[in-house]
Amino acid sequence: MNQPERQMGQFRSSSLSGNGILGSAFYTFPAMAAVASIFSPLSLLIASLIMTIYRPILLELGSAFRLNGTNYVYLLQCSGRTLAAVGATATLLDAVAASVVSAAAAGAYIKAEFPEIPATDHTIGIYLLIAMALLALVTLRESGKLTLAITVIHMIVMAVLMVGSAVAWTHTGTEMIRHNWELRPTGGANIVRSIYIGICVGITGFECSPGYIQSIKPGSYGHALRNLLIMSLLLNVPLVLLVYALLPNEVIMKAENLLVILAEVSFGKPMRIVIVVDCLLVFSVGMFAGVSTGCNLVEALARERVLPQFFLRPLPFSGATYFPVALFVTISLVVYFSSAFSLSTVSTMVSAAFVSTMLLYSLSCLLLKFSLDRLPRVYRTSMWTAVMGIVVMISILIGNIIQDPRTLGLFATCFFVTLLGAFLPNSRLKLARMILWSLDQTRILQRWNLDRFVVRWMKHFRKDPVVLWVKDEHIHHLMRAISYIQDNELADRLIVAHAYTQSMGVLEMQTNVRLLEELFPATTIDLIIIRGAFSPVVVEATSQILSVPRSGMFISCPGNNHPWQIGDYRGVRLIGF
């Protein structure tokens, strides 16, 4: 089987998402300060603690499905292609938003430090996005060692900044923080609203972890999630407090490069340069991670025949696929343009993308418990934990709408347009039938015989078969499975596959398959018998021989006695029959 070349421990895996969490300090601090004022440290503390709700949810999902792909994979396994398209859209837009906000923030920092550059900050951001796209055309592989090194450097720089700022605070005293405290919102309702909106703006970064789970050593995933919480609590929260202890509110409200100003106040000009360099390193990793996540998702959808196969066309000199990169950059530029090149607007969109992603994790957990509860997994959490996650994320989404309804409207527009593109491939059969009906109702068009082209198109996209793995010959199980596949898949050919070590039941299965061909005349049903025990090796060999991707193969939900985990089958789908 195709195994990851090397699996990561808790620290390397933490660095992949930790870079996003710690790097968010460069762009979330100004956005949070604008709405929460001096209550920003409290808002960020609560936002970080909220993520403790999601650790058990992500652990259960990761224990059930050790597969990269996050919500797309979870929803595909627990529900079907419709909700999976929603999950793919949320994951893609989250990756786009992460890349755009990293580029926008990097452009703002560069322009603030070098105002003589003959380009605006958003022009610099566009150049950076295009540069990352060109790099992706060479390779889309993320280096865990490089990311870990940059994350460690960033943590050291932030720790030094935190210690230096704390020392500077002891010298300046409490006069500045008292001044900022006097400018706080007044009245209980205003204070609560400020803290609440600050929580909604400041929560981000934890959603990336499941995207790398296949590359994480078994047993290290829970530690990696714990490390992310510790990073946020020990570094980000104290830094926000130190910003208000050393900088006046007037500067905080206007500046987008708060940490650079804090470094200069605490250490002087040299530390300011260090922070700028650190910022560019972190944002470079953030941009490339977003491009990599988005393009890998598009490639996976194309390999699974959800998207057209031209998305897999490689460049001759590097072998990298260029259509996914072009699509990702196009969506990123559209999002950046539509936000009027505003860093605060893009930052709000990042928060909205985060909320939608986390909300779908909770939904996936509930669907897992409802439809695949017998699926073996090491870790189980309470149903009420998943419900609490949904309630919390809906509350945060409401806060984002209250704070900036226009930006949330922009995000919703981008989401539904992208979702439409994800839905269309799965709706080809309905669309073709509607076209045929329209042609049949229009006499003028009938003379052109356009229906022949539509029928030819239908045969083209339905020619790829799906495979149903069966354990026994019970015909009512087979009928339920075939009915499910007919209702949810486009294929008009079904291959029933049976692996056996003893020949009992094989003849009866052949008889039942012939009977099923009579019951389902619209579907061609073939039977293949494989001598040997059912295992991931047999599934992969069959996938290669039949040229059917593993996402086009179905098995019933295994029980506790099954010797393999569903993740070992690398994408084979579960159905209840």
Q: CB atoms < 10 A from the CB of 520, how many?
A: 17
Of 420, 449, 422, 421, nearest in space to 436 by CA: 449
Query: Where residue 302 falls among pLDDT bands split at 50, 70, 90?
Result: confident
pLDDT beyond 80 at 1 = no
Query: Where residue 443 falls among pLDDT bands split at 50, 70, 90?
Result: low
The CA distance from 2 to 158, in Å, is 39
Report pLDDT for 29: 86
pLDDT beyond 70 at 245 = yes
Question: Does 3.30.300.30 match the CATH number of domain 10-326?
Answer: no
Give the mean model confidence (pLDDT) for residues 185-212: 84
What amino acid is encoded at 206 in this protein? F
Crossing angle of helices 10-23 and 269-303, in 10° steps, is 110
The CA distance from 243 to 166, in Å, is 10
pLDDT beyond 90 at 124 = yes
Report pLDDT for 15: 73
Alpha helices (H) along 339-474: 343-371, 383-403, 405-426, 428-441, 443-446, 450-461
Q: For 299-321, b where at least 16 C-beta lie within 10 A, e where not — what string?
A: bbbbbbbbbeeebeeeeeeeebb
Percent of the chain residues topping a pLDDT of 90: 33
Structure-block tokens of residue 257: 């490069």
pLDDT beyond 60 at 4 = no
Query: Where residue 452 falls among pLDDT bands split at 50, 70, 90?
Result: confident
The CA distance from 510 to 496, in Å, is 10
Contact 99, 286 (CB under 8 A): yes
Q: What angle do CA 285, 122, 148 make, to 5 degrees?
A: 10
Q: What angle do CA 555, 558, 562 make, to 5 degrees?
A: 120
What amino acid is encoded at 8 in this protein? M
Give the mean model confidence (pLDDT) for residues 304-312: 83
411 or 451: which leads in pLDDT: 411
Give the mean model confidence (pLDDT) for residues 286-299: 87
What torsion do the CA atoms of 196, 202, 205, 206 make, to the nearest 10 degrees? -30
pLDDT beyond 50 at 71 = yes
Class of domain 462-575: alpha beta
Round the average pLDDT of the chain to a whole number and report it.
86
Strand partners, 500: 531
The CA distance from 120 to 314, in Å, is 34
Structure-block tokens of residue 322: 């260029």
Query: Where residue 2 falls among pLDDT bands split at 50, 70, 90?
Result: very low
pLDDT tens across 367-416, in order? 999 988 888 888 899 999 999 999 999 999 999 888 888 888 889 999 99
Q: CB atoms < 10 A from the CB of 560, how many?
A: 8
Query: Where residue 103 falls among pLDDT bands split at 50, 70, 90?
Result: very high
Report pLDDT for 3: 45
Residue 529 is inside which H or E element, if any? strand 524-531
The overall pTM is greater than 0.95? no
Q: Show Cβ contacts of residue 393 under 8 Å, excluding neighbours closer than 6 positions.
A: 355, 358, 359, 362
Q: Which has the minimum average pLDDT: 6-20, 327-341, 501-515? A: 6-20
Q: For 130-142, b where at least 16 C-beta lie within 10 A, e where not — what string?
A: eebbebbbeebeb
Q: Where are the domains of the chain?
A: 10-326, 428-460, 462-575
Show contacts of 440-448: CB within 8 Å, 24+ apart: none
Give the mean model confidence (pLDDT) for residues 359-363: 95
Q: What angle do CA 122, 124, 129 make, to 5 degrees?
A: 95
What torsion do the CA atoms of 451, 454, 459, 460 make, to the nearest 10 degrees? 150
What amino acid is encoded at 71 in this protein? N
Q: CB atoms < 10 A from the CB of 395, how many?
A: 14
Contact 201, 31 (CB under 8 A): yes
Q: Classify burial at 553, counting beta carbons within 10 Å of its beta carbon; exposed 0-12, middle 13-18, buried 19 or more.
A: buried
521 or 195: which leads in pLDDT: 195
Q: What angle do CA 286, 287, 293 make, to 5 degrees?
A: 85
Report pLDDT for 224: 84
The CA distance from 208 to 290, in Å, is 10
Give the mean model confidence (pLDDT) for residues 435-446: 71
Tokens 């793995």 belong to which residue? 469
